[in-house]
Structure 1
Amino acid sequence: MNFNVRAPSTMSLLCLEASARLHSFTAAAKELRLTQGAVSRQIQTLEDRLGVRLFTRRRDALVLTDAGRYYLNEIAPLLQRLERATANVIALKGRGGALSLSAGASVGTYWLIPRLPGFTRDHGEITLNLGTRVGPVDFRTTAVDASLEFGDGQREGLHNEFVLPLMLSPYAAPEWIRRHGKAINPDTPRSALIHHQTLPGAWDEWFRLEGIEGDATREGPRYEIMSMALNASVAGMGVALLPPYMTDDMIALGRLKRLSRRMWRYPKGYYLVYPEESAQLPSLQVFRQWLKDQANETP
C-alpha cells in the first residue's frame, strides 16, 4: 500500500456519486444540502487529485467519462459500507451492528437459514442481511462483509476459514427406485444420473469408489446448483449425489430414499471468506464463532 497517496475526502466521493446518479451538480447539491458551487468545487478538486476528468459536462446533463465510471464502480461498495456503518452506530449506539453475508444458494437455504432463529434469539443486537449467489463473491464490487461459499479455501488475499465439509451419497424418489432398483450398479442407466455443475466429476469418482466400470459423465441431465438436482430427484427424474442437510427432510416425508450406506467427502467444502477490512467487525466475530459452533454440531 502506498501511504504517500492521500485518499480523497468523503465529501468529494459523495458529491461524485450523487452527481453521477442524478446527472447534475445542481440536483446533487440539493440532495446533499450544499450549494451548486460547493459540489462543483469538490468534483474539480477530486479531478485535480486524480489527474483525470471524471465528467463530460454537456448542456443537458453530466455524463461520466470512462475513468469516472471505473472509479465510481470501485468506490461504490466503500460508500455503501460507510452508509451502513453510520446507520448502525446511530441506531444501535455501538451495541451491535449489521452483517451483510452472502451464502451459496443450497447451503444458505437448506443448512444456514434453518439455524438462524437460534442466532437471532441469542444475538438480537445484530441484524443479519443475507443474500445468495452462484460462485465466489467479488468483494471489490459488492457491499458484502463475508461469504459462506463453496470452494477450496485458497482465495488469495482473503481470510478463508473452513466451516463444513460436503458429504455426498446417492438419493432417488421411491417411485424411481421401484422401477430401477435400490442401488447404483453397472446396469443403472447413465441417463438417470443427475449432475450438478458445481461438482464436476462427482459421479465418476462415485463409480470408482463403488468399483463400477464405465463413464458416468456423458449422459444425464445437468443442473447449475444442487437445489435443482434435489428437486429433480424428488420429482423422480433420476439419482442425485446430495448431502444429508438437503435430504433429511425429504427422507422424513418419504419423498426420497438413500441408495447407499457409503458417504463420500467431496474434495471441496464450505468456507467463510472475508476481506481484511471485515476482520475486526464485532458482528462478524460473533457470527464466525456461532457458525463454527453450528458446524461442530452437524453430524
Structure 2
Amino acid sequence: MTRKRPQRELGGLLGGAQALTQAGPEVQRLPLEQLRPYGSQPRRYIGTEELERLTRSVREQGVLQPLLVRPASSGGGFEIAAGERRYRAALAAGLAEVPVLVRPLTDLQMIEVGLVENLQREGLSPIDETEGLLRLIALRLDLTPGGARQALMANLRNPDPQQVALLEDVFALVGQQTWQSFAKNKLRMLQWPPEVLEAMRSHGLPYSVAGIVAAVADEHRPRLLDMALGGATGRELRGAVAALRPIPPADPLVVRQLEQVRRTLGHPRFLQQLGRGQEAELKKWLKQMPKWMRERVEEGADPT
C-alpha cells in the first residue's frame, strides 16, 4: 500500500512567516556555483533513475519551480532549503543558473521545509525519514539528537506536558504517525547494522523486511540480506531465520513417559484387559488430545 503523504503548503509550515515562501517579483536567477545543499536535509540518497527522469525534464523545460534558499552563514553563496533534487538535475542537465527565492530562514525552518517537501514525495527511505524527524524534534526541544531520543523514551514512561505538546506539533506537521508510535517502533531502526541501513537508503529495502534482517546474528546477516535484496518476502525470510535456530533437546522425562505410554498402548492385551469404565475414560482422554497431535495420529504421520 502506498503511504499517504501530507499535502501541506510550505508557507504553512513556517507559522507566521508564510510570506517567506510566496513567489512573486522576488524570484531571481542565481548561478548554480553559488548554491549548495543544506547539511541537515533529510534526504541522503536520490535514486539514479529518479534523478535521470528529472534531469530529462529539466533539460527539456528548464526548472519550473523556484528553489527556496537562504544566504549561507559562512563561505558566501546560498544554502538550499527546498529543491535539492531540482538543483542536482540542473547540474546534470548542464544548466548555468536556476530560479530561486531567497529567504532569511532559521535552522529550524530549513529542516522543517526540507523534511516536509521530501515527505510529500515518494522515495524517501524510512531511515532518512526517521533521522530527519529526530533532528527536527531535537531542534524543537533544544537538545542534541541523542538527547531527543532519550526525551522521547522518557515521555513514554512519564509524559511531560510541555514536551508532549511540542512533540504533537512536530508530528501534526508531517501528518503520518504519532510521536508514541515513532518512539516505540522507528527509533530502534537507528541502532540497526550499517549494511541494513545502507540497503534501505540505496536499494529501497522495506522497513518490515529490514527489521527481520537486522535481528539475525552477524554471521547470518549477509545471506539474509542477499535474500531480501533479491526479493524474498517477509514470510520467506522468517522461514530462513527459523531454520537457523538449533532444535532444543527434548526433555528426558517427557521422552521416557511418552515411550512408556507407547509401549503400554501398543501391547496386544492392553485393550482386552480394560473394563467398561476404563475404556470410556480412555476415549475421553483421547478426545482431550491436542488438535495438532490428533491430526498427526489420524494421518498416521510420524510425530517426529
Q: TM-score, normalised by structure 2?
A: 0.24
Choose 1 or 2 for highest CA Rg. Answer: 2
Structure holding more helix per residue? 2
Higher relative contact order (CA 8 A, sep 6+): 1
Q: TM-score, normalised by structure 1?
A: 0.24
